């Protein structure tokens, strides 16, 4: 296999036919046919089957596509990184963010990259905890800020901060009080969760408690906006941190109550590929994202109980938070 064969294969796979791929790549169909034939000759099973609508990938073709995209992207990043060694930082960076991270630091990250780093193409995508590892392994994201991602030896996850979870909703739903609410009482209220299972959002560190809420949720949604609509329309409540719906909390449109017996917490992690070297562009975006998280904590706009990272990551933290911060990777009680 060589790069041209894999690039031709990817183009044909994504367009569904040689003629369409050649038109998009502005090359002759015979060139793509030649590369595909040479690639196919290396395998005993067909990569495509002919169909009236074009070429359909077989299971073998689908499997090769996963490898091919990662190989080509890695080669492009390597070339890009070496070209950048002596000049301005350039390249494409895809960072996945949990909803709270996206609303808290995503807008600032976009502004800084646009104004100060014109050579970087930044892609922000909302990521759900359960899908973070899959997105990274499929080369969909270079970095991710995610809550309680699934453990995987291929991913390096660094604990960043720990949040206290609250019951958030209209007063007529959660009660006209700010007193704590027990988990038992919360389970009796109408509440909404993002979709359960491997694609769900982890709203607490305690996975047994998470499963209990998932099993009793009468309403679930695939969209954060749908969850917000449910809460703001007064249909029920949601489990979230102080940063979730913070504008509505500040205006009094919704209220919140701390959750007790047990206390609910969740931990934000920075997720990175363990074995894939980061380009200069990815390293820069990583540093910016970490500093922005610290800035939000310092400004009091990202309320958290504990900071779990600090100067060993080149980050400036508030003095009080830095003093209380345990070593990175230390167990969270």
For 324, residues 6+ apart whose C-beta sits below 8 A from its C-beta are 306, 307
Domains and CATH numbers, the chain: 3-84 (1.10.10.10), 91-162+267-324 (3.40.190.10), 166-263 (3.40.190.290)
Do 155 and 272 touch, CB atoms closer than 8 A? Answer: yes
Do 256 and 166 touch, CB atoms closer than 8 A? Answer: yes
In whole angstroms, give the CA distance from residue 171 to residue 177: 8
What's the pLDDT score for residue 86?
Answer: 60
What's the pLDDT score for residue 135?
Answer: 63
Among 129, 140, 141, 120, which Cα is nearest to 101's?
A: 129
What's the pLDDT score for residue 333?
Answer: 33
Among 163, 164, 168, 147, which Cα is nearest to 246's?
A: 168
Do 29 and 56 touch, CB atoms closer than 8 A? Answer: no
What's the pLDDT score for residue 188?
Answer: 93
Residue 54, both tokens: 């074009």
What's the pLDDT score for residue 327?
Answer: 34
What's the pLDDT score for residue 323?
Answer: 37
Q: How many CB atoms lie within 10 A of CB 23?
A: 12
In whole angstroms, give the CA distance from residue 214 to residue 267: 19
What's the pLDDT score for residue 129?
Answer: 56
Dihedral (Cα; 267, 271, 274, 276), 10-degree rounding: 180
In whole angstroms, give the CA distance from residue 162 to residue 239: 15
pTM value?
0.66
Report CA-CA distances (Å) from 147 to 19, 80, 96, 318.
44, 31, 11, 22
Residue 283, both tokens: 């390293």
Query: Is the peptide bond preceding residue 270 cis, with omega within 30 degrees of 0?
Result: no
Rg of the chain (C-alpha set): 23
What's the pLDDT score for residue 220?
Answer: 80
Q: What angle do CA 8, 11, 16 make, to 5 degrees?
A: 120
Q: Which residues of the chain have pLDDT under 70?
A: 80-81, 83-87, 128-139, 195-203, 310-333
What's the pLDDT score for residue 126?
Answer: 78
């Amino acid at each position: 296999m060589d790069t041209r064969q894999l690039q031709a294969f990817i183009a044909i796979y994504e367009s569904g036919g040689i003629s369409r791929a050649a038109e998009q790549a502005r090359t002759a169909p015979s060139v793509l046919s030649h590369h595909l034939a040479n690639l196919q000759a290396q395998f005993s099973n067909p990569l495509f089957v002919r169909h009236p609508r074009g070429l359909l990938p077989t299971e073998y073709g689908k499997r090769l596509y996963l490898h091919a995209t990662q190989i080509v992207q890695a080669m492009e990043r390597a070339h890009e990184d070496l070209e950048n060694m002596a000049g301005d930082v350039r390249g494409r960076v895809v960072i996945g963010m949990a909803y709270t991270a996206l609303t808290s630091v995503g807008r600032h990250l976009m502004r800084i990259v646009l104004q100060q780093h014109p050579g970087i193409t930044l892609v922000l995508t909302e990521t759900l905890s359960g899908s973070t590892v899959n997105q990274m392994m499929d080369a969909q994201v270079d970095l991710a800020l995610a809550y309680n991602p699934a453990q995987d030896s291929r991913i390096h996850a660094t604990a960043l901060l720990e949040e206290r979870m609250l019951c958030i909703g209209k007063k007529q739903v959660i009660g006209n009080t700010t007193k704590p609410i027990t988990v038992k009482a919360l389970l009796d209220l109408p509440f909404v969760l993002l979709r359960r299972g491997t694609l769900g959002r982890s709203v607490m560190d305690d996975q047994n408690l998470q499963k209990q809420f998932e099993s009793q949720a009468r309403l679930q949604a695939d969209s954060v906006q749908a969850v917000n609509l449910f809460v703001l329309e007064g249909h029920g409540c949601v489990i979230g941190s102080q940063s979730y719906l913070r504008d509505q909390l500040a205006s009094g449109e919704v209220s919140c109550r701390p959750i007790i017996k047990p206390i609910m917490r969740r931990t934000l992690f920075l997720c990175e590929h363990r074995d894939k070297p980061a380009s200069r562009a990815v390293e820069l975006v990583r540093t910016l994202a970490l500093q922005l998280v610290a800035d939000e904590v310092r400004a009091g706009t990202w309320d958290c109980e504990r900071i779990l990272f600090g100067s060993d990551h080149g980050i400036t933290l508030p003095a009080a938070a830095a003093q209380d911060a345990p070593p990175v990777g230390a167990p969270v009680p």
